[in-house]
A and B are shown apart, each in its own frame.
Chain A
């Protein structure tokens, strides 16, 4: 009997003493985070940007004493942008490094490969920037998405033509030139939904990833009389599209997706001028509070080159929200409490660098965008609208598909 009381006492002590260190990846002194990045594959450029941003973010927090006295630690695994290697990287992060959460990941193929594992192992993943809707539809409790959505943007293009430019279906023909994959098809779907809604004619011109000859696509769009063309793909190919259109004397208004808000668009020089772009982030030339902070921190870290990346606030907004959630949870940090806290944060302050918002059952963090215009002479993008949402909102628009 005495032995049973002793055992019960020990168990009670363990139970009482345990909370501070009961969650995976959390000790009295540290919070262990993990990420898988392409450090040596085809997207190594992006991998280096994300890793640098994460290190600047972590150093900044740790310099201020960490989160409730706990310093942040980061484990980085190289996935070479390969889905199979991403599964290996995920397993290593979860089983070997025993991370509390996975932060700042991207890539449609890699993230899709571990989506079920994330749900099964209940590892908060904040955020994924993969450009596929399956990241938030259907929503997984543990997976948060924050990027730009081409379906939203293509709908917004048609909204803009109809409401702002006042061009009805008799005066405008919509075109979509897109990379023939999930990313591009998302743009096509958005344009199709909105064009059907308003009665516009739609012409599609897909191209294979890696192609730099867009002559057949341009000729098709020109021959069908396209006046306004959405483009979904990388900025260097967008520059090729502008040059090809100029060559054959086709002069539509282009609407580039968020990836074209990139210095590489200016390779087309003055041909890029006056065309539209969609973006969910603040711009450096707007000198927002958020950008001022980025300039201060990245300059101090010797990473000034990163400030030329217009998508930098995409990384920073999400990590800022993650930090806020970690602080709000308090000392008793658990994965479930973290997720509940992220869901409860409203109007997160990004310092004028855009919006990020989640809720119960809502894992799509981006809802609002602005339309920008390219100023090729100054080599900047300037907003021509305020923050707005597409007329057909997700998830309601799913019923129309």
Chain B
């Protein structure tokens, strides 16, 4: 039981990182109907920005983190205005290609500025583990779980009760009608990218804190969040978080219990196996909106 609990708690922490990445994907999709393939790169860029503030400019960690949030928020806005907005109204495939291109550019840019090698990340968390329900948890993991909890609560409230949140939902539902109803659609688009960039920065900083390093390869963890989004439902914020947590826990449990039978790659396959099974039963995900087309 102790082993199961330990695997479960660590899985929750990794799942929280996946949830942060998934949240970014969903926020943009929910508001703009665009699937942003550059979201993992925003996570990587967020981690590198925080690293620069703390390690290069010698700022205290939380000040550096706050400034990196501002920088990344601005970067999200600029990217939306320069790269995405001109594509509004274009075919979906064209927009996908643009976000894929953006992902490559951001990855190349990070290697160019910070170099291709991993850089030590100055995480502020102590190493002394915390005991929870008989299992151990590092402070970095604990804060990640708490942060994911705060983010989900905050965004659920934001989308349900704030005027910007309602505007975002309306825009995603039908951009033209939202525009006719007086919603500033451009502002909604920009806001969604800003928020997604902020969430990505939070995820990036926690991921770098777990692993002690910021690396260009961090962006590949973004791909691990894809099963979480599909599992939870593309347009569901609770779905993104629950999906992320399920994938994180399932990967960790499979890595321990199934590895002796199926080999070391089992934890990675597990996520996709779960998605496959859920898709067969609920094609729109656990929490996704069921779209019924009448013909």
Residues on the B chain within 8 Å of A243, using CB: 127, 138, 212
CA–CA, A220 to B257, complex, Å? Answer: 9
Q: Is the CB of A246 within 8 A of B129?
A: yes
- Indicate if B116 sits at the interface (CB-CB under 8 A): yes
Residue of A nearest to B215 (CB): A236
| B210 adjacent to chain A (CB < 8 Å) | yes
Is A83 an interface residue when CB atoms closer than 8 A count as contact? no
What 1/0 flags go to B191-214 for Cβ under 8 Å of A?
A: 000000000000000000011110
B213-A267 in contact (CB<8A): yes
Contacts of A223 in B (CB 8 A): 3
The A contact surface, by secondary structure, is helix
Residues of A contacting B215 with CB < 8 Å?
236
- Please provide the chain B residues from 108 to 127 with a CB less than 8 Å away from any CB of chain A in the complex: 111, 115-118, 120, 127
Residues in A neighbouring B146, C-beta threshold 8 A = none
Chain B: number of interface residues, binned into ranges: 20 to 34
Query: Do B211 and A215 touch (CB < 8 A)?
Result: no
- Docked complex Cα distance between A206 and B265 (Å): 9
A246 to nearest B CB, angstroms? 6
Residue of B nearest to A263 (CB): B120
Residues of B within 8 A of A219 (CB): 3, 6-7, 256
Q: Which residues of B contact A268 (CB under 8 A)?
A: 212
Q: Check if B155 is an interface residue, CB within 8 A of chain A.
A: no
**Binary contact readout A257-293 vs B (1 if CB under 8 angstroms, 0 otherwise):** 0000000100111010000000000000000000000
In-complex Cβ contact of A220 among B10, B251, B259 (8 A): B259
Q: In the complex where A208-B268, A210-B220, A223-B3 touch, is A217 in contact with B129 (Cβ < 8 A)? A: no
- Determine whether B284 belongs to the interface, using a CB cutoff of 8 Å to chain A: no
Q: Is the CB of B263 within 8 A of A206?
A: yes
CB distance from A320 to the nearest CB of B (A): 27
Residue B137 at the chain A interface, CB threshold 8 Å: yes
Report the separation of the CA atoms of residues A267 and B127 in the bound assembly, to the nearest whole angstrom. Answer: 12
* CB atoms of B117 and A45 under 8 A apart: yes
User: Is A249 an interface residue, CB under 8 A from the partner?
Assistant: yes
Q: Tell me the smallest distance from the CB of A366 to a CB of chain B, in Å.
A: 25
CB of B159 within 8 Å of the partner chain? no
Does A248 make an interface contact (CB < 8 A)? yes
Contact of B118 among A44, A215, A264 (CB under 8 A): A264
B255 on interface, CB distance cutoff 8 Å: yes
Q: How far is the CB of B149 from chain A (nearest CB, A)?
A: 20
Answer yes or no: B217 CB below 8 A from chain A CBs: yes
Write out the residue numbers on chain B whose beta carbons fall within 8 Å of the beta carbon of A269.
127
Is A19 interfacial (CB-CB < 8 Å)? no
Whether, in the assembled complex, B25 has its beta carbon less than 8 Å from a beta carbon of chain A, the answer is no
Q: Of all chain A residues, which has the CB nearest B9?
A: A215
Most buried by B among A206, A215, A219, A239: A215
Interface presence of B287 (CB below 8 A): no
Residues of A within 8 A of B255 (CB): 213, 215-217
Question: Would you give the shortest CB distance from A400 to chain B, in whole angstroms?
Answer: 25
- For residue A343, CB closer than 8 A to chain B, the reply is no
The answer, yes or no, to whether A240 is at the interface (CB within 8 Å) is yes
Known: A208-B268, A213-B252, A248-B6. A45 touches B115 (CB 8 A): yes
Q: How far is the CB of B247 from the nearest CB of chain A, in Å? A: 12
Interface presence of A397 (CB below 8 A): no
What residues of B have a CB within 8 angstroms of the CB of A180 in the complex? 263-265
Measured in the bound complex, the distance between the Cα atoms of B243 and A182 in whole Å is: 34
Is A216 in contact with B252, judged by CB distance below 8 angstroms?
yes
Encoded as 1 (CB less than 8 Å from any A CB) or 0, chain B from 1 to 41 comes to 00100110011001000000000000000000000000000
> Which positions in B face A, CB cutoff 8 Å?
3, 6-7, 10-11, 14, 111, 115-118, 120, 127, 129, 136-138, 210-213, 215, 217, 220, 251-252, 255-256, 259, 263-265, 267-268
A-B contacts, 29 listed (Cβ < 8 Å):
A45-B117, A206-B259, A207-B264, A212-B210, A212-B211, A213-B210, A213-B251, A213-B252, A215-B6, A215-B11, A215-B255, A216-B7, A216-B255, A216-B256, A219-B3, A219-B7, A236-B212, A236-B213, A239-B212, A240-B211, A243-B138, A243-B212, A246-B127, A247-B136, A247-B137, A247-B138, A249-B129, A264-B118, A264-B120
Q: Closest 7 interchain pairs by CB?
A: A216-B255, A206-B264, A216-B256, A215-B10, A45-B117, A180-B264, A212-B211
